[in-house]
Amino acid sequence: MKHKMWSRLLSMALAVMMIASIVPNSAFAEAGSELAASSQVVTEMVEGTEEVTQAEETTGEEPAEQPAGETASDEEPVAEPSTEPAVESEQPTTEPTQAPAETAVSSEQPSAEPSAAPEATETPNASAQPSETPAASATPAPSESPVPSETPAPSEEPAIDGQALLDELMAIEDDEAFLKAVSELTEEQTAALEALGEEALAEYTLRVESLTAAQQQEEKFTELYEKLMAAESIQEIEELLNDYSDEELNSFVDFLGEARYTELTGYITAKAAEDQEAPVSKVFTDAGPLMPAVSVGRRSLRAAANFLNADGGNAGEDALKISKTLEGWNKDTGTGTLVLEAYSIGEYKTEIIEKAVPVDIVLVLDQSGSMGDSFQGASNRQAAMKEAVNNFITKVSEKYGEESDHRMAIVEFGSSSNVLANWTEMDVQGAESLHGVINSLPNRPSGATNIGSGMQNAENLLIGDSYKYTGENSKRHKVAIVFTDGVPTTSNDFDTGVANAAIQSAYNMKNAGVTVYSIGIFTGVNSEQLFGSSGFDTNSDGSIGSKWIKDTWGFFPGTDFPEADIPAANRFLNYLSNNYKTATNVGLYRDTEGWGIFHYKVVYEITENFERDSDKYYLTADDQTSLNQIFETIKDEIGSGSTSVTLDEESVVRDVMSPYFTVNGTKDDVQVYAVPSTGKDPESGEFQFNDDAGTWILLPDAAEVTGKVVDVSGFDFSNRYVAEEPRENPQNPSDKGYYGEKLRIEIPIKVDYSKTFGGNQIPTNDESRSGVYMTKDTAVPEKTFTSPKADVAINYDFITKDSSIYVGNEQNLKDLFQHNATHNGSAVPVDGDTNKYVTIRYEVFKGNDLLGTYTIKPGQQTGNWTDAAKDIPFDCTQYTIKCEVTPKDLGTVESWNQEKGSKVHVFVPTITWKDGTIGYNDTLSEKFLKSRAVTVQWNDASADAGEKPSGFEPILEYTFNDKSGNPLVNTNITSDVDVCVKVSYESGLDITEYTSFGWQKDNDEGNVCGDSCTKPDGFQFRIHVGTGDLTISKILTSFNASKGEKVTFLFEVKNEATGKVYYQSISFDSTELNVEKSKTIKGLPAGKYVVTELVTNGYEATGGKTSVSNLEVGRGKDAKAIFENYSNGDKVPGDNEYVNNQFTYTKDTGWTWTKAAE
């Protein structure tokens, strides 16, 4: 209320002063000489009450507020402020310091008028002396808020009703029309709105800002779209998009609309394809054998192998004698010789009778939309699958018989899953029925890849309620063949939930004896891949907690899904199959970062690993031929009926190396002998053989070496059997003392250090596959060799890695070291097989303190931490890593030990702050204060780091305080302020003590400090208050004596940006003609001003010049406005009488008009 009353009183005083200019010898000649008022001016007074008197025209009644739009006289307008004077919220520092005193005002002795303007000093030029000295006035003080004026401007137009104008604007419903109306507001209309105050304008301001922001956003996004469509590379596209936050990019996608979005994503896809190579598929078609048959009924139909004598009698399994030993083993060189021996006893013909075991097969077929994609050798993937499956159905049907009553069912899965064919006998009619089912599948399916649902249906068919068999052949193989070309999902992205559901069903089936084959045909299939180990932005080492990360652009050109999903898909199909019998889930966590439209980051983290059991059950194909081959090899595992074979020269002695050894040479290095028997020792009862190697018969070309497999054939067990009595030698009829021979095979072997780190008691051979086979095509050996075991010297190494982190971040201790065993230049991973016979333990020390121990147990791919797994160093820190590799079994090989150092480089910020300048009493915004940070550089505190930490730099938060620790944000300042900065992370971690600070002086145009600026001691930067001086000069060329002995000219000074208004006056008497007189307003807030001379009765402006605009003040700049007037000869009589107006000021009510003097 006090502000409004003060505004009214000032308006009335100004009006009275203007009226006085038409009265001769008026007591009002200088009544406003020091008056300055504004709707936003504040007058600060010392506490208490003071009174001021001012001359006023005698009217015989109380002074009243002048009606809007009227002048004081019909003939001449009264000069008064354009807005009602009120309390000013901000003032220059050079204000008068005294309050107005009560004084009688006359034309000879003007009174001191209350003023809210900056200090005005009259400065005459060299040819004139000032005729008056401005009275002291009050020092300004800030008020709580600006108060709108109620007195209209000196205009013939009515005052603008701000509230009515606001209501009219807000009533405009169309946003475009609303913005147009706002843009066309005049200065007066804008001022009228601002006078309403922030609270009244809150809704209006919000609407203007939001619509303006939307308009700006549309322009910005249109420009971005055009730049993206003109980009020549994916790198250029990435640079453009990196300038935007995720939220902005999401808004951008919404802005595009469907048509432009489709066009842009297609363009980005094409650009991404230019820089991307399609992943390489690795074909594997060699299917493993079926798991043992399970009993589902009354009797077993599998006959045991029988050895028969010449007359058909059973000679027993002991008729075939075999042995294997390791000779000449050297643990340090890892070399030795395997010796295999085999012979048959007695005059026997050896024969085996085997009956086929029937098979129940469920085909689980992918019918997702991607099956319509192209495929080499066929019109598309669907066509290739149909051909391969139809051939498979035919081949299984051909093996159908009374004792091999094979059955088949078919399940399809897409977005959901269905059983297309229940259990069907694989006779001719059944095969025809299944061909019809396959042929009826659509040429181009649609939907997702919900393989979890498909596996649940397969589980129900094979081991659930849907499995029924009532025939005679109750011992049966159970098989699930899962075919897919995509990742498990119910949508688009790899879904670990769908994957886990499928693997859980597969686990249940595998535990029940089901053989699960998985077949993958997507781009990048690789049955050896379990994680993203290379080619990614971040690579995984396969350990639990490790990640592989890839930025993905476009719609995955050259592949079926994001590149990071390929290892996950290969891992999934491995775990689904019998390669991993104990896998219960995919062991992955998948996440995406970014806005996920045509660019996002795919992150995979390993959460669990399982031990591999085989490598024969996840099969891969990249064309029609390889896909057909897969089904062919699976078909070969299915029996067809009874056969009879003889153990003779077509029989094969096969030795298969374990994963840890290999043949040391070629087939020419494998020696095969026929060793003569000397008969049976009568005491021991054992058959004896000639120890003289010179008597051994070399069998050249008997051995074949294929990888780790050595096959020896050509030794006719049926003719060279060992007997107690001599007989005629079939190879040399003249030899009548022939006791038979044994087969001796000498295979040089060596450790395959790409598969093992060493240890004790490591088996040299695969016992399940090394033995005597009736023929080369026999699936199961007649008798197997026991594998010798060898102690192998430890072959391990590790490296330490220096690391770089941002101060305050955690250092994962696992990142400080990495196993580095190599073989022939290639890395040897810790994959559970290589470390199957050793324990690997790392200890991490900081100084003498043990921080943590990381132990990888034998057969595990990853280890576990005891104590700490992470550390938070705030300075560059040296760590010591000790590694010990210990054999799990006792033997001749001892532990291996080594220690190495690693350094963690801690990067700290150096922030350079630059002084700033703002206007007097302006508000310090957080945005402005933050803008003073001109550079942020992260450097290693020890200055020896090789590279910066990976990932994004931390986002820094700043807190700004003054010398006393008081917050500076949203405060108003009237003098220079030294700023203390506290630096922290978004998490709240204070890193100020680790932060270095630089300083720059404010050398921008308009700074107030200039070259003399110095860094504030103990602070980061300084905010300078920008002010300046504005001089108003006046020249009077002629005097109108009818208006009194003195004349006062009033000027309005308005800040063009803020609308703040000040008033100043210059007085002349008749002796001061053609003299330039000046008043200088000191300490004006920085900005551009317009000075307007208000109308003075009896005088005219020379050349009509009543206003000077674009006067720039502050930040090192001062301004000057010059006016010239002359008498227009107007002689309207005046009035010399006056009364004193009484004004009272208190700190609570401000200036108030009391009454007219009696």
Same domain, 730 and 748: yes
Residue 353 in domain: no
Structure tokens at 1016: 């504030």
Q: Is residue 523 part of a domain?
A: yes
Query: How far apart, in whole angstroms, are the C-alpha atoms of residue 179 and residue 173?
Result: 11
- pLDDT at residue 152 greater than cutoff 60: no
Q: Are residues 688 and 801 in the same domain?
A: no
Q: What is the 3-state secondary structure (H, E, C) of 477-536?
A: EEEEEEEECCCCECCCCCCHHHHHHHHHHHHHHHHCCEEEEEEECCCCCCCCCCCCCCCC
pLDDT band at 271 (very low <50, low <70, confident <90, very high): confident
812 and 770 within one domain: no
Indicate the residue among 239, 255, 275 that finishes a domain. 275
> DSSP strand E in 874-993: where?
877-887, 896-914, 916-919, 923-924, 933-940, 956-961, 971-972, 977-985
Q: Is residue 451 part of a domain?
A: yes
pLDDT band, very low/low/confident/very high, at 265 (cuts 50, 70, 90):
confident
The per-residue pLDDT for 313 is: 36
Report whether pLDDT(342) > 80. Answer: yes
Amino acid at 17: M
Q: Is 1099 found in the same domain as 1047?
A: yes
Q: In 238-333, at which residue ranges do the beta strands (DSSP E only) sit?
A: 294-295, 320-330
What confidence tens digit (pLDDT) does each residue in 422-431 have? 999 999 999 9
Number of C-beta neighbours around residue 210 at 10 A: 11
Look up residue 253 and give its two tokens.
Answer: 């996608």
Length of the chain: 1158
Both 417 and 468 in one domain: the answer is: yes
pLDDT of the residue at 446: 86
- Position 495: which residue type? D
The residue ranking higher by pLDDT, 39 or 399, is: 399
Instruction: Fill in the amino acid letter for 208.
Output: V
- The domain spanning residue 509 has which CATH number? 3.40.50.410
Task: For residues 737 and 835, state if they share a domain.
Answer: no
In-domain check, residue 293:
no
- Considering the domain architecture, whether residues 340 and 368 belong to the same structural domain is answered as no
Backbone angles phi, psi at 49, to 5 degrees: -125, 130
Last residue of a domain, one of 222, 248, 275: 275
Is the C-alpha dihedral spanning 488, 489, 495, 498 positive or negative? Answer: negative
Average pLDDT over residues 620-630: 91
Task: Please indicate, yes or no, whether residues 887 and 915 belong to a single structural domain of this protein.
Answer: yes
Helices (H), 102-161: none
- Model pLDDT for residues 226-260, shown as the tens digit of each residue: 988 898 887 788 778 777 766 677 788 888 888 88
Q: What is the C-alpha to C-alpha distance for residues 913 and 998, in angstroms, rounded to an integer?
A: 6
pLDDT tens digits, 1109-1158: 999 887 667 899 999 999 988 876 543 333 334 444 443 444 444 433 33
Degrees (nearest 5) of the Cα angle 198, 1143, 52?
125
Q: What is the 3-state secondary structure (H, E, C) of 204-250?
A: HHHHHHHHHHHHHHHHHHHHHHHHHHHCCCHHHHHHHHCCCCHHHHH
Q: Which residue type occupies 342?
A: A
CA–CA separation, 47 and 200 (whole Å): 32
Write the pLDDT tens digit of every residue in 497-546: 999 999 999 999 999 999 999 999 988 899 999 999 988 889 999 999 99
Burial letters 883-917, b for 16+ CB under 10 A, else e: bbbbbbeebebeebeeebebbbbbbbbebbbbbbb
Of 175, 200, 230, at which residue does a domain stop? 230
CA 315, distance to chain mean position in Å, is 73
Distance, in Å, from the CA atom of 1111 to the CA atom of 1118, rounded to the nearest integer, reads: 8
What residues are paired with 413 via a beta bridge?
366, 417
Q: Is residue 123 in a domain?
A: yes
- Give tens-digit pLDDT for 700-758: 999 999 999 999 999 998 889 998 889 999 888 999 999 999 999 999 999 999 999 99
The confidence band for 277, taking pLDDT boundaries of 50, 70 and 90, is: low
Residue 312 lies in a domain: no
DSSP state letters, 393-457: HHHHHHT--SS---EEEEEEESSSEEEEEEEEE-SHHHHHHHHHHHHTS-SS--S-B-HHHHHHH
Judged against a pLDDT cut of 50, whether residue 145 lies above it is answered with no
DSSP state of 21: T
| Residue 999 located in a structural domain | no
Six-digit token string for 897? 């030990």
Which is it for the CA torsion 202, 204, 205, 210, positive or negative? positive
Q: Residue 289 domain-assigned? A: no
Which domain CATH number covers 657? Answer: 2.60.40.740
Q: Highest-confidence range of 548-557, 666-675, 1066-1075, 1108-1117, by mean pLDDT?
A: 666-675
How far, in whole angstroms, is CA 1058 from its chain's centroid?
43
More confident residue, 217 or 1009: 217
pLDDT > 90 fraction of the chain, expressed in percent and rounded: 45
Residue 943's domain comprises: 794-920+923-972
Q: Are residues 124 and 186 in the same domain?
A: no
Secondary structure class of 1004 (helix, strand, coil): coil
Residues 726 and 827 in one domain: no
Please check the confidence at residue 945 and state whether its pLDDT lies above 70: no
Give me the residue label for tokens 């085996």.
352
Torsion sign, CA atoms 846, 852, 856, 861: negative
**pLDDT beyond 60 at 97:** no
pLDDT category of residue 34 using cuts at 50, 70 and 90: very low
What contacts 237, CB < 8 A, 6 or more positions away? 228, 231, 268, 271, 553
Decide: 435 and 393 in contact? Cβ < 8 Å.
yes
Least confident of 585-589, 798-802, 940-944, 1034-1038: 940-944
pLDDT band at 579 (very low <50, low <70, confident <90, very high): very high
| Count of domains forming the chain | 6
Q: How confident is the model at residue 275 (pLDDT cuts 50, 70, 90)?
A: low
Is-contact 640 746, C-beta < 8 A?
no
Work out the number of other CB atoms within 10 angstroms of the CB of residue 64: 8
Give the pLDDT confidence score for residue 236 in this predicted structure.
82
**pLDDT at position 139 over 80:** no
Residues 1150, 1042 share a domain = yes
250/239 same-domain check? yes
